[in-house]
């Protein structure tokens, strides 16, 4: 059923009367009949599920990859011309790869499902002039919604009443502090979500006070709904690994077709039978296509995910392992990722001096007494502090210094209060003292509180607050504020009689200034070192947050994202709105910190870096991060503080929410790519050796290897060593090199020339053995036995040659004697297993007949073994000159 469109206006710029009129309601709320009509017109207040593809469609889509199509073609041709085994093996590999792809895709669809489950179960609304509770999915535009501390906002509201209302919106805006709401009309239409103080947004949390407002958006028409829509419609980006595999498949296909056609033509020109040459060309295709490559890459990636899981990095999308290794930019949320997501007192000013939080403090000092008395924090049975983050920070400070806050409050209980008010920016409480007197405790904005102070407490002595001292306090407040600390002042007085007028006039006058506190959401202890290591690895950290500019800049400097004396580098969401996409893409490198941003800004930032050719990782934990997480080359969600939405949209989830885990993961990702490169170098150099052997043999008129020989060699000598190469340890300098970048391929860093010369060596050595075997026959009088011996020696040589060559690719340029022969136990076992499987078809009667090979004598085996192992010293010589002339010690 088609739903009626909801109004999409900047309601925060309109007064209460205008909004109520446009929404067709009054302060008494809708009638039940009108609400029933609107639920039919607009639909329930929930997020769209979205249309999920069927399993069959998902499965078929896995076959769009170019390499997969090439392999399917090879399987079909092999089967048509009798090589059923070849076709079956290739088909099994392709199907297995598709099944794994479907599994990974199913995981990615959890993002929208998680968003749908985040709605509040109950809401209090006015209907027919009465306040009732109903399921939040029954809310409609025009409903009057009531809010109080502890509520989850069930829809987007235009507030028209706010009594000290504070709403925590970090999951939507990224701002760590609860936002104090104000019903005043906002003139500027372009302000970000975090600055729309007269609005309340779906799925945010009320932490203090109460409020009332009219529902102006439900379901997909809320700010959270917009995020859900972005998630559902955003295009998936292809990972560098997928791009590289696609390119590799295209290169191989072109090369295979050219060589096969040329070889077929040469054979026909030399008078060979066309069917014989067609089968020979198919043999060449089988030799050229690394049919096990997709499976081997998948296995290497899977092995990488297991290692990363042990280090608290959980991979949801296999290619993400490799993508991490190529990351140029980490766009990271501040709150909860680089910081603790917990307000903490850092400085305390009293007795005329600023004291660091690490220093001891006399618990009898009045500033400590005030910060715990004028405070609404509740202590749960398990010791957890419940309340506004700013107030819980004060109580936590006192507890950490050894105060039993509950015991002190029981001795001097609160008997009255003047609640916090956004106009005066103060809060006061009155406590009964054991001697019958009354202790008035007040805290609030320093400039406002100082207006009500006439004296100052200095080491327990009360003195008049003169103008000079007052200015010193204001200057100290300014200094703390420039350090991005949130500053609150403390004051008190002791009176003989209970004030009769419990108002600001009757209570908050003639106070004694006690001191100030400076607090901040502090950076994680390990984050600074992680940023430094990332910088050494050529990775740029970019902070994106909903917090204020000064706070973001201060944290960035403390972490090293901004240099201490660096000018600029910070951009706000409002400033970003003034820059078009093309201009921003050209200037994105100028900024390392973004403050007061919205979800749309985050997507723009990621896209701008991608347009600059960079591979971008995005970390995040809030709902607002999900679109950018999905569109980034790799999205990194937080496992502890992260919402289910952010986890569902991510490629990787940090189980410990530790920024340093990302750096560990980058190192693992670089190792994985390096090992995939080694596997590809091994496979393609071996296949090139096979192709050259077949091609040159055809030119010379030699009948040298049948398709079954090529297939068996590929099966037993390619797969196990290639997989074992995936277990090679990371090279010591892996994190001292810059990212390889989006333009890098599997052939970068010397891989292409290496696999070419190594493939040529393999071809030459194999052809030499055939030539020697036919010119120095053991059975000189039997032509068939001479051919069988020569074919068997070529078969054994080519297989063992590839196994010995596997040792060469442990490093592209480093000497094998530097890397070490036996450090990778799995690799050594793989070589032994492959050698055994290769040998059994020669040594076991019956099997050798099936493969058209014959047993060899000792002299023949010695030649085969000597020829095969010669690949190691030959490659070592070339590596020596590569290192010498490239001036590279790799």
Map 750-812 to HEC letters. Answer: CHHHHHHHHHHHHHHHHHHHHHHHHHCCCCCCCHHHHHHHHHHHHHHHHHHHHHHHHHHCCCC
Query: Largest Cα–Cα distance of the chain, in whole Å?
Result: 128
Question: Is a pLDDT exceeding 60 seen at residue 93?
Answer: no
User: 63 near 281, Cβ under 8 Å?
Assistant: no
User: 366 near 373, Cβ under 8 Å?
Assistant: no
Question: Is a pLDDT exceeding 60 seen at residue 154?
Answer: yes
The pLDDT of residue 70 is 58
If one compares 587 and 655, the residue with the highest pLDDT of the two is 587
Show the tokens assigned to 584: 């921003």
Please, which pLDDT band fits residue 544 given cuts at 50, 70 and 90? confident
Which residues have CB under 8 Å from 27's CB, separation 6+?
Answer: 20, 126, 144, 160
The pLDDT of residue 701 is 77
676-685 pLDDT tens trace: 888 888 988 9
Distances (CA, A) of 884 to 397, 756, 879, 890: 61, 19, 8, 11
The helix-helix angle for 366-373 and 389-400 (nearest 10°) equals 140
State the DSSP code for 590.
Answer: G
In a domain, 160, yes or no: yes
User: 816 near 823, Cβ under 8 Å?
Assistant: no
Residues 470 and 362 grouped into a single domain: yes
Torsion region of 263: left, alpha or beta (phi above 0 gives left; psi -120 to 50 gives alpha): alpha
Residues 429 and 332 grouped into a single domain: no
Q: Dihedral sign, CA of 332, 337, 341, 347?
A: negative
Count how many domains the chain has. 5
What's the pTM?
0.65
834-860 pLDDT tens trace: 999 888 888 888 777 777 788 888 888
State the DSSP code for 335.
Answer: I
Instruction: Please state the φ and ψ torsions of residue 424, each to the nearest 5 degrees.
Output: -90, -15
- For residue 588, the number of C-alpha atoms closer than 13 Å in the C-beta half-sphere is 28
Residues 802 and 849 grouped into a single domain: yes
- Residues 854/856/862/865 CA torsion (nearest 10 deg): 20
Average pLDDT over residues 275-284: 68
User: Could you list the active site residues?
Assistant: 333
Average pLDDT over residues 735-763: 83
Of the given ranges (147-151, 220-224, 349-353), which has the lowest mean pLDDT?
A: 147-151
Beta strand ranges found along 499-603 (DSSP E): 511-520, 540-544, 570-572, 593-595
324-368 pLDDT tens trace: 888 999 998 887 778 877 889 999 999 999 999 999 999 989 999
In a domain, 226, yes or no: no
Torsion region of 426: left, alpha or beta (phi above 0 gives left; psi -120 to 50 gives alpha): beta
Closest CA to 853 of 778, 783, 771, 785: 785
Show the tokens assigned to 462: 């009360």
What is the rounded distance in angstroms from the CA atom of residue 252 to the CA atom of residue 248?
6
State the DSSP code for 194.
Answer: G
The pLDDT of residue 659 is 79
The pLDDT of residue 512 is 97
Please, which pLDDT band fits residue 109 given cuts at 50, 70 and 90? very low
Please, which pLDDT band fits residue 736 given cuts at 50, 70 and 90? confident
The pLDDT of residue 782 is 63
Q: How many CB atoms lie within 10 A of CB 88?
A: 13
Residues 497 and 349 grouped into a single domain: yes
Question: Is a pLDDT exceeding 90 seen at residue 231?
Answer: no
Question: Is a pLDDT exceeding 70 seen at residue 783?
Answer: no
The pLDDT of residue 118 is 43
Closest CA to 480 of 341, 333, 342, 353: 353
The pLDDT of residue 163 is 82
Across the chain, what does the average pLDDT equal? 83
Residues 348 and 327 grouped into a single domain: no
Residue entry with tokens 């063992």: 800
What is the rounded distance in angstroms from the CA atom of residue 333 to the CA atom of residue 533?
18
Residues 45 and 190 grouped into a single domain: yes
DSSP per residue, 46-105? S----PPPPHHHHHHHGGGSHHHHHHHHHHHHHHHTT-HHHHHHHHHHHHHHHHHHHHHH
> Beta strand 329-333 with 616-620: parallel, antiparallel or unpaired?
parallel
Please, which pLDDT band fits residue 546 given cuts at 50, 70 and 90? confident
In a domain, 157, yes or no: yes
- For residue 211, the number of C-alpha atoms closer than 13 Å in the C-beta half-sphere is 31
Closest CA to 804 of 821, 818, 817: 821
Cβ-in-10-Å burial (0-12, 13-18, 19+) of 356 comes to exposed
Domain final position from 200, 219, 238: 219
Residues 471 and 387 grouped into a single domain: yes
In a domain, 843, yes or no: yes
| CA-based end-to-end distance of the chain | 64
Percent of the chain with pLDDT strictly greater than 70: 84
Question: Is a pLDDT exceeding 80 seen at residue 141?
Answer: yes
What is the rounded distance in angstroms from the CA atom of residue 561 to the CA atom of residue 329?
12
In a domain, 367, yes or no: yes
User: 574 near 191, Cβ under 8 Å?
Assistant: yes
Instruction: Please state the φ and ψ torsions of residue 469, each to the nearest 5 degrees.
Output: -65, -40
Please, which pLDDT band fits residue 110 given cuts at 50, 70 and 90? very low
Question: Is a pLDDT exceeding 60 seen at residue 873?
Answer: yes
Residues 481 and 551 grouped into a single domain: no
In a domain, 275, yes or no: no
Closest CA to 647 of 8, 114, 32, 286: 114
Distances (CA, A) of 792 to 493, 693, 746, 855, 856: 102, 14, 34, 8, 8
User: 124 near 240, Cβ under 8 Å?
Assistant: no
What is the rounded distance in angstroms from the CA atom of residue 696 to the CA atom of residue 684?
18
Burial 496-517 (b: 16+ CB within 10 A, else e): eeebeeeebeebbeebbbbbbb
875 three-state secondary structure: helix
In a domain, 287, yes or no: no
505-536 pLDDT tens trace: 999 999 999 999 999 988 888 888 889 989 99
The pLDDT of residue 112 is 36
The pLDDT of residue 610 is 92
- Residues 197/192/565/342 CA torsion (nearest 10 deg): 50
Domain final position from 202, 219, 236: 219
CATH at 692? 1.20.1110.10
| Adjacent-strand bridge partners of 298 | none
Question: Is a pLDDT exceeding 70 seen at residue 652?
Answer: yes
In a domain, 438, yes or no: yes
What is the rounded distance in angstroms from the CA atom of residue 795 to the CA atom of residue 712?
10
CATH at 566? 3.40.50.1000
Average pLDDT over residues 120-140: 85
> Beta strand 156-168 with 205-217: parallel, antiparallel or unpaired?
antiparallel
The pLDDT of residue 114 is 44
Instruction: Please state the φ and ψ torsions of residue 775, each to the nearest 5 degrees.
Output: -95, -10
The pLDDT of residue 108 is 37
CATH at 487? 3.40.1110.10
183-214 pLDDT tens trace: 999 988 888 888 899 999 988 878 778 899 99
The pLDDT of residue 233 is 57
The pLDDT of residue 403 is 94
Residues 20 and 146 grouped into a single domain: yes
If one compares 890 and 90, the residue with the highest pLDDT of the two is 90
Which residues have CB under 8 Å from 260's CB, separation 6+?
Answer: 281, 284, 285
What is the rounded distance in angstroms from the CA atom of residue 354 to the CA atom of residue 366?
15
Query: At CA 265, angle to CA 264 and CA 270, rounded to 5?
Result: 100
Please, which pLDDT band fits residue 87 given cuts at 50, 70 and 90? low
Average pLDDT over residues 421-450: 92
Q: Sheet containing 593-595: give its strands across.
A: 313-315, 652-654, 634-638, 616-620, 329-333, 540-544, 593-595, 570-572
The rounded radius of gyration (Å) of the Cα atoms in the chain is 36
Question: Helices (DSSP H) in 109-168: which residue ranges?
Answer: 110-116
If one compares 728 and 487, the residue with the highest pLDDT of the two is 487
Residues 460 and 504 grouped into a single domain: yes
The helix-helix angle for 240-269 and 293-310 (nearest 10°) equals 160
Residues 717 and 839 grouped into a single domain: yes
Domain final position from 108, 134, 150: 108
The helix-helix angle for 240-269 and 659-700 (nearest 10°) equals 0
User: 9 near 23, Cβ under 8 Å?
Assistant: no
Closest CA to 691 of 760, 788, 792, 757: 760
Query: At CA 629, angle to CA 628 and CA 635, rounded to 5?
Result: 145
The pLDDT of residue 680 is 84
Residues 204 and 186 grouped into a single domain: yes
User: 398 near 368, Cβ under 8 Å?
Assistant: yes
Q: How many CB atoms lie within 10 A of CB 229?
A: 17
Express the helix, strand and coil content of the chain in percent, nearest 5 each.
50, 15, 30
- Residue 72: domain span: 55-108
């Amino acid at each position: 059923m088609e739903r009626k469109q909801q109004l999409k206006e900047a309601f925060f710029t309109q007064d209460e009367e205008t909004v109520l009129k446009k929404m067709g309601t009054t302060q008494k709320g809708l009638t039940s009949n009108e609400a029933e009509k609107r639920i039919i017109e607009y639909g329930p207040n929930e997020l769209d599920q979205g249309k999920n593809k069927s399993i069959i469609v998902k499965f078929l889509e896995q076959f769009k990859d170019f390499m997969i199509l090439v392999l399917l073609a090879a399987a079909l041709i092999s089967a048509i011309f009798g090589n059923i085994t070849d076709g079956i093996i290739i088909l099994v590999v392709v199907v297995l790869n598709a099944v794994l792809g479907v599994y990974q895709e199913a995981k990615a669809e959890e993002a929208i499902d998680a968003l749908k489950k985040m709605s509040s179960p109950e809401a209090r609304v006015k209907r027919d002039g009465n306040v009732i509770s109903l399921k939040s999915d029954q809310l409609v535009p025009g409903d009057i919604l009531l809010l109080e501390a502890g509520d989850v906002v069930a829809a987007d509201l235009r507030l028209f009443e706010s009594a000290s209302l504070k709403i925590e919106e970090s999951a939507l805006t990224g701002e760590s502090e609860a936002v104090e709401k104000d019903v005043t009309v906002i003139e500027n239409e372009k302000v970000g979500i975090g600055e729309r103080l007269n609005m309340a947004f779906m799925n945010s949390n009320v932490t203090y006070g109460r409020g009332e407002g009219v529902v102006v958006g439900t379901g997909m028409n809320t700010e959270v709904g917009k995020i859900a829509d972005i998630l559902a419609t955003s295009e998936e980006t292809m990972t560098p690994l997928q791009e590289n595999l696609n390119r590799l498949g295209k290169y191989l296909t072109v090369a295979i077709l050219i060589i096969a056609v040329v070889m077929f033509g040469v054979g026909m020109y030399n008078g060979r039978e066309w069917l014989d040459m067609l089968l020979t060309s198919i043999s060449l295709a089988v030799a050229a296509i690394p049919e096990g490559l997709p499976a081997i890459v998948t296995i290497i990636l899977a092995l990488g995910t297991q290692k990363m899981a042990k280090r608290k990095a959980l991979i949801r999308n296999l290619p993400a392992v490799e993508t991490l290794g190529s990351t140029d930019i980490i766009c990271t949320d501040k709150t909860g990722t680089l910081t603790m997501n917990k307000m903490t007192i850092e400085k305390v000013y009293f007795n005329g001096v600023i004291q660091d939080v690490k220093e001891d403090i006399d618990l009898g000092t009045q500033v400590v007494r005030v910060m715990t008395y004028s405070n609404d924090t509740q202590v749960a049975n398990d010791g957890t502090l419940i309340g506004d983050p700013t107030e819980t920070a004060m109580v936590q400070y006192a507890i950490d210094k050894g105060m039993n806050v509950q015991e002190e409050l029981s001795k001097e209980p609160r008997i009255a209060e003047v609640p916090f008010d956004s106009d005066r920016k103060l809060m006061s409480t009155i406590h009964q003292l054991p001697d019958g007197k009354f202790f008035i405790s007040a805290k609030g904005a320093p400039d406002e509180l100082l207006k009500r102070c006439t004296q100052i407490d200095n080491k327990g002595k009360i003195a008049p607050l003169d103008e000079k001292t007052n200015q010193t306090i204001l200057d100290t407040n300014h200094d703390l504020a420039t350090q991005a600390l949130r500053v609150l002042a403390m004051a008190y007085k002791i009176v003989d009689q209970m004030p009769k007028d419990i108002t600001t006039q009757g209570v908050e006058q003639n106070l004694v200034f006690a001191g100030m506190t400076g607090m901040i959401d502090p950076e994680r202890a390990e984050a600074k070192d992680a940023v430094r290591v990332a910088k050494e690895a050529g990775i740029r950290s970019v902070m994106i947050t909903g917090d204020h500019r000064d706070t973001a800049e201060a944290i960035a400097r403390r972490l090293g994202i901004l240099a201490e004396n660096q000018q600029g580098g910070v951009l706000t969401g409002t400033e970003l709105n003034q820059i078009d996409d093309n201009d921003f893409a050209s200037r994105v490198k100028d900024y390392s910190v973004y403050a007061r941003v919205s979800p749309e800004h985050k997507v723009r930032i990621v896209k701008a870096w991608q347009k600059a050719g960079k591979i971008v990782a995005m970390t995040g934990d809030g709902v607002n991060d999900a679109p950018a997480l999905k569109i980034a080359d790799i999205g990194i969600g937080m496992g502890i503080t992260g919402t289910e939405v952010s986890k569902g949209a991510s490629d990787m989830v940090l189980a410990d929410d530790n920024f340093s885990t990302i750096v560990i993961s980058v190192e693992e990702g670089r190792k994985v790519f390096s090992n995939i490169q080694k596997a590809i170098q091994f496979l393609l150099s071996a296949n090139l050796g096979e192709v050259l052997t077949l091609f040159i043999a055809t030119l010379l008129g030699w009948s040298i290897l049948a398709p079954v020989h090529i297939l068996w060699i590929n099966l037993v000598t390619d797969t196990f060593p290639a997989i074992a190469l995936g277990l090679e340890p990371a090279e010591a300098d892996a994190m001292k090199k810059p990212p390889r970048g989006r333009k890098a391929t599997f052939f970068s860093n010397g891989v292409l020339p290496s696999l070419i010369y190594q493939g040529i060596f393999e071809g030459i050595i194999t052809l030499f053995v055939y030539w020697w075997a036919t010119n120095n026959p053991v059975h000189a009088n039997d032509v068939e036995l001479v051919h069988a011996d020569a074919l068997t020696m070529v078969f054994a040589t080519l297989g063992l040659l590839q196994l010995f060559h596997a040792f060469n690719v442990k490093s592209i340029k480093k000497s094998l004697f530097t890397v070490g022969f036996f450090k990778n136990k799995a690799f050594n076992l793989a070589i032994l297993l492959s050698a055994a499987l290769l040998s059994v078809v020669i040594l076991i009667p019956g099997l050798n007949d099936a493969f058209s090979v014959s047993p060899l004598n000792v002299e023949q085996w010695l030649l085969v073994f000597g020829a095969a192992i010669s690949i190691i010293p030959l490659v070592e010589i070339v590596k020596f000159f590569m290192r010498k002339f490239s001036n590279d010690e790799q």
